[in-house]
Structure 1
Amino acid sequence: MSVADKVSSPCVSVCALDENDICIGCQRTGDEILRWSQMTNEERREVLKSVAGREEKVAL
């Protein structure tokens, strides 16, 4: 798989975990951030779905 085929990281270079272990910049958990480089594209897509749900909760 080439680099162009990989699902991109949602990182926005605002790296700080809140009290729930969620990054305030990208909305990933600490574990998701650590494992990102070893994840398959399918696993990354699942994380991005979780991130979207977390973003909706923050926006409320």
Structure 2
Amino acid sequence: MNGASTPCIKVCVIDPASKLCEGCGRTLAEIAQWGCLSEAERLAIMAVLPERLADRKG
């Protein structure tokens, strides 16, 4: 992806309850669109991922 920012940690498992990737916290739609998003859009999504993952585990 030419050095594009990515939160992927290569733990690609979608949690059936939350519908989020257990590794990075993205939705399937976000993962599918990732290569087409601008860097600003990727960074905006990445900014909310820690909270998403914390909410899912909490």
TM-score by length of 1: 0.76
**Number of positions where the alignment pairs a residue of Structure 1 with one of Structure 2:** 56
> Residue 17 and residue 59 in structure 1: after superposition, are their counterparts in 2 closer, same or farther (change >3 A)?
closer
Runs of 4 or more, structure 1, over 6 Å off, are none
Higher RCO, 1 or 2 (CA under 8 Å, sep at least 6)?
Answer: 2
Q: Aligned letter for 1:15? A: C
What stretches of structure 2 of length at least 5 have no aligned partner?
none
CA RMSD of aligned residues (A): 1.6
Counterpart secondary structure, 1:46 = helix
Q: Aligned letter for 2:15? A: D
Match of 1:26 in 2: 24
TM-score by length of 2: 0.78
Match of 1:15 in 2: 12
User: Percent of aligned pairs with the same residue?
Assistant: 30
Structure with the greater alpha carbon radius of gyration: 1
> Residue 59 and residue 21 in structure 1: after superposition, are their counterparts in 2 closer, same or farther (change >3 A)?
closer
